[in-house]
Amino acid sequence: MIIEGYEIYEDKLPKHIAIIMDGNGRWAKNKGKSRLKGHRQGLETLVKVLDTALEVKIPAITVYAFSIENWKRPMTEIKGLMNLFDYFFNREFNKIKQKNVKIYHSGIRNHLDEHTLGIIDKMVSETKDNNRAILNLAINYSGRVEIIESFKKIISDNLHNINDLIDNITEGAIHANLCHPDLPDPDLLIRTSGELRISNFLLWQLAYSELYFTETLWPDFTPKEFVKAISDFQKRERRFGTC
């Protein structure tokens, strides 16, 4: 199929794409706008990319919406980001729900206010039976914390049989205790804004993911460039650690 001028092969589609939506602040600075204007424009980009992912038939998308490290930002920006989740819920949620998209949340609940948690829980609950695609929102997320929490669950489950604890710490057990073990590991990670790092995002799951970096700032990231990233992915030979 031809989408946005690129030939996309349905038998080589990534089953899961992870996105680090970077560059909102720089986009705003370049245009003399507030950082919050940049984040709002980034939300518009997310909606367009999600629609394109549905057109291409990508089964799952995970987006890095708010990291644990983001709590170090100025309080005015943090409050603005929390308000943006409210804006997303009021403006976009019903449309996303009607498109048969299931929403997941990855991240810890600590420090999130009750209003934001209520929004997250409502989106997750009201879309639990949707089955066209999954939008996984990484909010208050840390890859390291996710792995730590997985180990804690394994240890807790084996307290009655501590002698077998070491044998029960396996790749399968760690994966089974991540935020959403039903999601396949991302085949493709996209990061915008020219930064060449993964910033504590899905550290366990990205072990064999293909990485795609672009200089484009997230608010300027178009559906065409999203499809370009998929096209680039389809040209790669994945060896998963083999020769």
Question: Average pLDDT over the chain, rounded to whole?
Answer: 95
pLDDT surpassing 80 at residue 54 = yes
Does the annotation mark 83 as catalytic?
A: no
pLDDT confidence bin for 161, thresholds 50/70/90: confident
In this prediction, residues 28-53 reach a mean pLDDT of 96
Domain 2-234, CATH: 3.40.1180.10
List 22, 24, 136, 140, catalytic entry: 22
Compute the average pLDDT of residues 22-47. Answer: 95
Which CA distances in Å does 193 have to 1, 64, 219? Answer: 28, 14, 10
Q: What average pLDDT does range 57-72 have in this prediction?
A: 97
pLDDT of residue 158: 87
Cα distance between residue 48 and residue 54, in whole Å? 10
pLDDT at 242: 65
pLDDT score at 243: 53
Task: Specify the residue for token string 């996710």.
Answer: 146
Cα 180 from Cα 182, distance rounded (Å): 5
- Position 239 scores a pLDDT of 76
**Is 70 considered catalytic here?**
yes
Query: Of residues 11, 24, 70, 200, which has the active-site annotation?
Result: 70
Domain map (residue ranges) of the chain:
2-234
By percentage, how much of the chain surpasses pLDDT 70? 99
Q: What pLDDT band is residue 241 in, cutting at 50, 70 and 90?
A: low
pLDDT tier at 238 (50, 70, 90 boundaries)?
A: confident
Q: Give per-residue pLDDT as tens, 79-103.
A: 999 999 999 999 999 999 999 999 9
What is the pairing mode between strands 60-67 and 133-141?
parallel
Decide: residue 47, CB within 10 A, 0-12 exposed, 13-18 middle, 19+ buried. Answer: middle
What percent of the chain has a predicted confidence (pLDDT) above 90? 91
